[in-house]
Amino acid sequence: PWWVLIGAALVFPFTQLRTLSSTAALCFLSMVTIVGSVAIVIVKLIVNGREPTVETFVIAEDITFTSFMQSLSAIYFTFSGQNIFYEFMAEMKDYRDFMKVFIIAGPFQVGIYM
């Protein structure tokens, strides 16, 4: 019961955020944790290298139609942000700048998720 109360006390302040602009700090924290996690893995690979038995293929040899469709669905889900685009635009000072932001962020997201 104590851990539930502690968890609730930690989460409660963040449930009170009503606009996208008020979540900026959480977005930054999220970005830092993701970049940090990826950096840890990359540094470990650089320091230790990979096992000599590891083989990497451009296209997986054992790919099936089902696994291909599951992967494709994950990519579609990742980039299906159009339901929140209008809310982003509503929070912007000038909604006409949305395309500028999207043109910059889009290729970055593709690079990150691929």
**Taking 70 as the threshold, does the pLDDT of residue 29 lie above it?**
yes
**Taking 80 as the threshold, does the pLDDT of residue 36 lie above it?**
yes
If phi > 0 it is left, if psi is from -120 to 50 it is alpha, else beta; for residue 49 that is left
Quick: pLDDT tens for 38-65: 999 999 989 988 888 888 888 888 889 9
What global pTM score does this model have? 0.46
Q: Angle at CA 69, nearest 5°, toward 65 and 75? A: 150
pLDDT-derived band of residue 99, with 50, 70 and 90 as boundaries? confident
